[in-house]
Amino acid sequence: MNNQDMIIRILLAIIFPPLAVYDKGCGTILLILLLTCLGWLPGTIVALLICLKKKS
């Protein structure tokens, strides 16, 4: 993932967290959506952690 993609993901995670993790699978999207509905900040934090996690 190049720098432009990472910047876009970070902005999406801040604005609308479920959209930032759309390619991670249905379970992840539902988790982020639930956390975002419970409060914007928890969904944003988890989405940022998932987006910034290095692939191993």
22: which 2 tokens?
């759309």
Q: Could you tell me which of 2, 1, 50, 39 has the C-alpha nearest to residue 19?
A: 50
Res 56: pLDDT: 60
- For 36-54, what is the mean pLDDT? 93
Domain span at 46:
3-52
Model confidence pLDDT, tens digit, residues 14-30: 999 999 999 999 999 99
Model confidence pLDDT, tens digit, residues 2-17: 899 999 999 999 999 9
Task: Indicate the number of domains in the chain.
Answer: 1
DSSP secondary structure code for residue 22 in this structure: T
Higher per-residue confidence, 37 vs 2:
37
